[in-house]
Chain A
Amino acid sequence: GQQVMQIPQYQHVQEGEDFTTYCNSSTTLSNIQWYKQRPGGHPVFLIQLVKSGEVKKQKRLTFQFGEAKKNSSLHITATQTTDVGTYFCAGRGSGGSNYKLTFGKGTLLTVNP
């Protein structure tokens, strides 16, 4: 079945440093979504990418979807303590039994002030 791998599992940075998490799917995706979960909270939607090679920005966050629609990345520029949390990618398969949304295991980001 469809698998979504996400690395790294953990990342600790100093405030002001950049951060990147990567996501790879075993199958071609129809879309990829990113979520953030604060400690003790529930996942909150950040963005959805649909097109091959798509790049979207939200302030200090940059999201990319690979040309083959099998990989994605989230880059945070100049991290702040408010960025702390676990970032999940979630890939929606192309159809049939793969249509379900499969989450990566997440990257836990901690920021040292």
Chain B
Amino acid sequence: KAGVTQTPRYLIKTRGQQVTLSCSPISGHRSVSWYQQTPGQGLQFLFEYFSETQRNKGNFPGRFSGRQFSNSRSEMNVSTLELGDSALYLCASSSGTSGEVDTQYFGPGTRLTVL
């Protein structure tokens, strides 16, 4: 099976701009979660989508949003970028089915730098 793919891998933006990141989960997986990873804060949960519905949400401002398409691919959007948004954004897919092992399969991440 192909793994989780994320595009783009690297991105440089300036403050005030917006950005869209994409994630393609493992075939058959219906759950996609997004995390922000920074050296000081570790892995912080942004949101989880399951069958096109947001199932859970972390404590991030409304500038961070996401969606999931019918083929389970997901996008996250960050508007009005701030310097502090510079981070590695990781997407993880899982089957999302209750009762199964809850393994999160992570993609390689998108490294976002905000100047």
Binds B, one of A38-46, A57-65, A68-76: A38-46
Q: Which residue of B lies closest to A105 (CB)?
A: B42
Range class of the A interface residue count: 20 to 34
- Complex interface residues of chain B between 32 and 49 (CB less than 8 A to chain A): 33, 35, 41-45, 48
Query: Do A100 and B109 touch (CB < 8 A)?
Result: no
Q: Which residues of A contact B (CB under 8 A)?
A: 1, 31, 33, 35, 42-45, 48, 88, 90, 92, 97, 99-106
Interface contact A42-B41, CB-CB below 8 Å? no
Q: Which listed residue, A42, A100, A102, touches B106 by the CB 8 Å rule? A: A42
Look across to chain A and name the residue whose beta carbon is closest to the beta carbon of B42: A105
Which of B45, B55, B109 meets A42, CB within 8 Å?
B109
Count of chain B residues with Cβ under 8 Å from any Cβ of A?
24
Q: Interface centre among B43, B92, B109, by most A CB within 10 Å? A: B43
Does A33 lie within 8 Å of B41, measured CB to CB? no
Q: Which chain B residues border A43 with CB–CB below 8 Å?
A: 43, 90, 92, 104, 106
Q: Which residues 58-115 of B sit at the A interface, judged by CB distance below 8 A?
A: 58-59, 90, 92, 101-109
Can you list 15 A-B pairs, Cβ within 8 angstroms, ordered by A? A31-B102, A33-B102, A33-B103, A35-B104, A42-B106, A43-B106, A44-B106, A45-B103, A45-B105, A48-B103, A99-B55, A100-B48, A100-B57, A103-B45, A105-B41
Closest to A46 in B: B103
Roughly how many angstroms separate A10 CA and B39 CA in the complex, as a whole number? 13
Contacts of B41 in A (CB 8 A): 105
Q: Are A103 and B35 in contact (CB under 8 A)?
A: yes
Residues in B neighbouring A100, C-beta threshold 8 A: 45, 48, 56-58
The residue from A33, A35, A42, A105 contacting B107, defined by CB atoms under 8 A apart: A42
